[in-house]
Structure 1
Amino acid sequence: MKKASLTRGRPRSFDREAALAQMTELFWRQGYDATSVADLTESIGVNTPSLYAAFGNKEKAYCEAVDYYRHNEGQRVWENVEAQTSARDAVATMLQTSAEEFTRSNKPRGCMVVLGALSMADSNAAIVKRMKGYRAEARAKLVAKIQSGIENGELPDTADAESIAGFYDSVQLGMAVRARDGASRQELKQTAELALRSWEMVTSHQG
């Protein structure tokens, strides 16, 4: 990973956006707890006072990095989902695009929002809560697509949008973990395909 071109000891005299992108990849790859302040300063080439002057503290830097990830790295999945007009296509797109995004060769594997806080210490409760909120937002988008499918007659009116979304959301979360463990893109696409074969059974379940 190429380091941002910065000068140590000169707060705010560097490309802040490049530094944020650098820290995002570091947090994404290592997680919050495993990334030290020393790791961050080494990554972006400044000293600790300069890091704090630019980003506040480690927690604030992490939260800003997650927002950067959501808007610059993780948005493709949900942009593609939003473009679909049927509930099934929305779910299929979410899973297939996730398989691609979680296994890019030039980026850390998996999803920062899914993996970032799973192993955090209890002392980081505020960050854990924030990350849970982001995951809930994503699940709500899926619920909305499925509910739309119920309302327009694509799915039976007895279908439970929350349960269906919960099932496929769980598949996606598992894919993120498997990607981090080294699963190939093809393996994740196979997982997505198997999950989609259950569509009729899952959507016919009464809530």
Structure 2
Amino acid sequence: MNVSYMSRMEMTAETQRDQRPRGRPRAFDTDAALDRAIGVFSVRGYHGTAISDLSDAMELTPGSIYKAFKDKRGILLAAFDRYRLVRSTKLKAAIAPFPLGRDKVGAALRFYAEAAHGELGQCGCLVVATAAELAVSDPIVAERVSVAHATNEAVMKDCILLGQSDGSIPAGIDAADTARALLCLLQGMRIVGKTGRNRAEMIVVADVAMKLLD
């Protein structure tokens, strides 16, 4: 067998190796798995959640979990990011149909009220739960919580400023201070919702909160 023929064989073998799939593809829906993890963390909290709880909920073996997320903290961070993306998208969709700034604030308050009663309310908010457990001790988590709060506060401020420009909210209201107060109220609604409040009670809270804009 001559050298040139050997070279062609080696090149062919090398090409075939390059065309082989590099590693097995992840055989599960990451977003769906994280959505289930969100439910566990929101109800049980970070410290109250075991890998076995996550394995059962996410329908993954512990080995698959460790391979995809490294550890429980890795799952939490990924679940937190997923939660923020989903909730932010839904909030924007909830306020989008309303042209006036005042109505946008009202829609945002009702959006939170609807998440703060019944079974969904008892599940709680992952941002609130994570802030309470880890924001003091974990700088990376603290930064994520801070960004989440700042983002929601900015949404409320923008709605108030819009309302002042379109005349639906008095010009004398301090937009920044009122947005911060509304943020605290919104997060408080999610905490109170954990105790099993009904829809009527939480909608009334949203209605009363609108008086901050008078």
Instruction: Work out whether the TM-score is over 0.5.
Output: yes
TM-score range, shorter-chain basis? 0.7 to 0.9
Q: After the TM superposition, which residues 47-126 of structure 1 pair with which residues of structure 2 at under 5 Å, given as runs?
A: 47-73=61-87, 75-103=89-117, 105=119, 109-120=123-134, 122-126=136-140
Residue of 125, 144, 161 corresponding to 1:147: 161
Residue of 133, 138, 155 corresponding to 2:152: 138
Give the letter for the 2:32 counterpart. Answer: A
Gaps of 5+ in 2: 1-23
Give the letter for the 1:82 counterpart. Answer: A
1:120/1:187 Cα in 2 relative to 1: closer, same or farther (>3 Å)?
A: same
Does 2:116 match 1:129?
no
**Alpha-carbon distance in 1 for matches of 2:58, 2:166:** 51
Report the number of matched residues: 191
Deviation (angstroms), 1:107: 7.5
Larger radius of gyration: 2
Structure (1/2) with the larger helix percentage: 2
1:71/1:133 Cα in 2 relative to 1: closer, same or farther (>3 Å)?
A: closer
**Alpha-carbon distance in 2 for matches of 1:57, 1:18:** 18
Give the superposed CA RMSD: 2.6
Deviation (angstroms), 1:63: 1.6
Gaps of 5+ in 1: 1-9, 201-207
Deviation (angstroms), 1:98: 1.1
Deviation (angstroms), 1:145: 1.4
Does 2:190 match 1:176?
yes
Give the letter for the 1:48 counterpart. Answer: P
Is 2:102–2:169's contact at 8 Å kept on the other side of the alignment?
no
Deviation (angstroms), 1:122: 3.6
Residue of 51, 61, 67 corresponding to 1:37: 51
**Alpha-carbon distance in 2 for matches of 1:135, 1:26:** 22
Is 1:96–1:189's contact at 8 Å kept on the other side of the alignment?
yes
- Relative contact order: is structure 1 or structure 2 higher (C-alpha 8 Å, sep ≥ 6)? 2
Is 2:121–2:196's contact at 8 Å kept on the other side of the alignment?
no
Deviation (angstroms), 1:123: 3.1
Give the letter for the 2:181 counterpart. Answer: F
- Answer with 31-40 or 163-172: which moved more: 31-40
- Answer with 49-58 or 70-79: which moved more: 70-79
